[in-house]
Amino acid sequence: MNREIFIPKTINSSESVDVTPTPFGMDDFDKTVMSTYSRFPLALEKSLGCRVWDSTGKEYLDFVAGIATCTLGHAHPVMIEAVTKQIQKLHHVSNLYYIREQGELAQWLVEHSCGDRVFFCNSGAEANESAIKLVRKYSHTVLKVNNPIIITANASFHGRTIATITATGQPKYHKNFNPLVPGFHYVPYNNIGAIEAAISELDKDDCRVVAILLEPLQGEGGIHPGSITYFQKLRRICDTTGILLIFDEVQAGMGRTGKLWGYENLGVEPDIFTSAKGLGGGIPIGALISKKFCDVFEPGEHASTFGGNPFVCGVALSVCQTLERENILENVVERGVQLKTGLQSIAAKYPQYITEVRGWGLIVGMELCSKVSLSAENIVMAAMDEGLLLVTAGPKVVRFLPPLIITEEEVTIALQKLDRVITSVTR
């Protein structure tokens, strides 16, 4: 077994990082930036490997990775080189022309997945939006269905555009944004009876269920891994009915679960899937990857100005090649076991506060007891004091999403910090 896992040489030395405080005016910031986010009172200024520093010079171990995005951590030499080379050579020219880097990244994705053809865009929402458009066009032109319905799951998350908040099965994201887009229906996740009932109930008159859009593991909705038996039954239903199975791999894909794609944990392949977050290691890129139905869109029917430009594709390709060359997925599996086992023993010490630890690879959730007032945000805030960055997944789940290059020592340190945090917040 090739055990060569790439760790940037400077990763464990703070010597090369200047941590001189650089005061940050949060009040001034709030005067000009729209208040769409409830931000923590923290401004990050510098980064290296799996550590970041704030404007006061305080150091944090990063178990958020820009929300499952910085797969190679921060200031990774491969990314620095790729960014520098690509900006010097060619960064943006538009899709009026053939783009070498776009073709090379598409080829890598096709060779490393069940997909056959790729459309590039800039984000997860845009990738899902593209999938919805593809399904709609397929319904009208091939199936001759006038009212196509896409089934999605409760507690799902698919993005913030109007169509993707509609696809998202969480009422809190719909509130005050009516009218939403017609043609979506929600079912409980991992419940085969519910989806079978929905399909037979919805197929009438002009309406037909044409696609099912699901995350292989629900991220934002609370770290709920897909059930293997559920997804395998669903695959059979889709094969017999012709319903398209679409996977949103925006958070679970690109090695996060220890497999390159989340669906590999379920033993089923989608007809179409989407990727974004980890795909570019932190540069903005999204992709729609289709196994069948490659020729549904005709020239001029779908587009994106920035989509697949030489810069993002060149950098994303180097991220993909690094994941492969440096056997980073092996690290994800090993560190994932270490993290989960460590969290489970912390949970065992505080059974009245922590009810469950679940996840795959380096996407792990820790669920808090609904009977106590302790919230996931309380833990995230206390962890920040302790020098550990975490993120919530709903009010009662703390989410762990370190860079995929996290070391054994760093996981150990994070677990020690978390243990201290739980002790202090439950005192």
Ligand X SMILES: *Cc1c(COP(=O)(O)O)cnc(C)c1O
Angle in degrees, 0-180, between the axes of helices 100-111 and 310-325, rounded to the nearest 10: 30
**Where are the alpha helices (H) located in 326-407, listed in sequence order?**
328-349, 376-385
Maximum alpha-carbon separation in the chain: 69
Taking the least distance from each CB to ligand X, the nearer of 8 and 286 is: 286
Sequence-distant (6+) residues with CB within 8 A of 50 are: 11, 61, 62, 73, 74, 402, 403, 405, 406, 407, 410
Q: Find the shortest distance in angstroms from Cβ 47 to ligand X.
A: 20
Taking the least distance from each CB to ligand X, the nearer of 131 and 380 is: 131
Q: For residues 338 and 99, what is the distance between their CA atoms, to the nearest angstrom?
A: 42
Q: Find the shortest distance in angstroms from Cβ 396 to ligand X.
A: 18
The pair phi, psi for residue 148, each rounded to 5°, is: -70, 140
Known binding residues for N(2)-acetyl-L-ornithine: 160, 304
Contact residues for ligand X, defined by CB under 6 A:
123-125, 128, 157-159, 215, 219-220, 248, 250-251, 276-277
Taking the least distance from each CB to ligand X, the nearer of 183 and 286 is: 286
Taking the least distance from each CB to ligand X, the nearer of 155 and 415 is: 155
- Which residue number places its CB atom closest to ligand X? 124
Burial of 165 per CB tally in 10 Å (0-12, 13-18, 19+): buried
**Strand intervals (E) in 70-170:** 117-121, 147-153
Strand partners, 118: 289
Known binding residues for pyridoxal 5'-phosphate: 124-125, 157, 248-251, 305
Known binding residues: 124-125, 157, 160, 248-251, 304-305
Q: Find the shortest distance in angstroms from Cβ 399 to ligand X.
A: 11
Taking the least distance from each CB to ligand X, the nearer of 49 and 394 is: 394
Token output for 47: 């980064």
CB 402 within 8 A of CB 63: yes
Q: Find the shortest distance in angstroms from Cβ 218 to ligand X.
A: 8
Taking the least distance from each CB to ligand X, the nearer of 101 and 215 is: 215
Q: Find the shortest distance in angstroms from Cβ 247 to ligand X.
A: 10
Q: Find the shortest distance in angstroms from Cβ 403 to ligand X.
A: 17
